[in-house]
Homo-oligomer: A and B are copies of this chain.
């Protein structure tokens, strides 16, 4: 974290509050589900990769703190964000007592990574995440399982796609998350029977080899069935 004037004061006061948040930010890049990691410059765990996170500011709720971290790293707001689980942190160091982990879904096209001088953010495919600081690898695993499970009963993937998209693009996202290929016809049948998406009048032409119908999500808010 960059030390601006006053930052150390906040850090010191907040240290006693003993709650931190961490966010697993997912996107689909080059057909692979990827996670945003930051490279720590400061101790503890200097030189290791870690999830974006940090202490609550005074008066802030947990959700607000997670949203702030998300926006701070990616520049996007108003995307999907869900609380995952709360983990203990090792005692000592006077650091926070627990981390409340969140996961977020963002459309890569809307992301502008902050480039900091002291620590760099970068995307890693979930299947190639390096050893992380704290117990952050466990958090990523947990987030992945939750996301996979949600595909079957929720519309959360809307947050990973642009406003309009083809069914093939949608299928690619499902395949990236589930890490296995899906049958094209069965996929389209299921999606249409769930009525998650609706066709638009527009047609994709650029780069497509055959004109493709564009769809949009019937709702762009989270649905839980």
Given contact pairs A61-B88, A86-B83, A98 touches B16 in the complex (Cβ within 8 A): no
- State A59–B19 Cα separation when bound (angstroms): 15
Q: Which residues of A contact B (CB under 8 A)?
A: 16-19, 56, 59, 61-63, 83, 85-86, 88, 91, 97-98, 100
- CB-CB under 8 A from A19, the residues of chain B are 18-19, 97-98
- CB-CB under 8 A from A16, the residues of chain B are 16-18
- CB-CB under 8 A from A85, the residues of chain B are 83
- State A56–B89 Cα separation when bound (angstroms): 13
Q: Do B59 and A86 have beta carbons less than 8 Å apart?
A: no
- State A61–B97 Cα separation when bound (angstroms): 8
Known: A18-B18, A62-B86. 14 other contacts (CB 8 A): A16-B17, A16-B18, A17-B18, A17-B97, A18-B19, A19-B97, A56-B97, A59-B91, A61-B88, A62-B98, A83-B86, A86-B86, A86-B100, A98-B100
- State A91–B64 Cα separation when bound (angstroms): 14
CB pairs A–B below 8 angstroms (12 shown):
A17-B18, A17-B97, A18-B18, A18-B97, A19-B97, A19-B98, A56-B97, A59-B91, A61-B88, A83-B85, A83-B86, A86-B100
- CB-CB under 8 A from A59, the residues of chain B are 91
- State A63–B98 Cα separation when bound (angstroms): 11
Closest chain B residue to A17, Cβ basis: B18
